[in-house]
Amino acid sequence: MAIRFLYPCYFHAELTRSEGRRVAKTLAVASPSLVQVARAAKQCGLTVLVEERDVAHPAHWFLHDGRLRVEYAGNKEELLRSVARKLSGN
């Protein structure tokens, strides 16, 4: 199992790929919160550790949106798609 970090910006529909979105626009949502992403990850059966304090995505260092720490055996793109499906309801 590998430790993976998930940031809310990965699922933010209003961001471009170069700004940090990592999922397709069809799976992205408007202004995802850390709590929403954590809930979606838990629905995928993942053990989630929420890191809120003074944690930010390197490209968005000024936002301090927090991040999730999850253990996942597969590749990160599969993980992001499965969490995004739960988040967007698809």
Q: What is the pLDDT of residue 60?
A: 85
To which CATH superfamily is domain 2-88 assigned?
Signal recognition particle, SRP19-like subunit (3.30.56.30)
Q: What is the pLDDT of residue 9?
A: 95
All structural domains of the chain with their residue ranges: 2-88
In tens, the pLDDT along 26-72 reads 999 999 999 999 999 999 999 999 998 889 888 888 888 899 999 99
pLDDT band of 3, cuts 50, 70, 90: very high
Strand 48-51 relative to strand 67-72: parallel, antiparallel, unpaired? antiparallel
**pTM > 0.75: yes or no:** yes
pLDDT band of 90, cuts 50, 70, 90: low
**At residue 7, does pLDDT exceed 90?**
yes
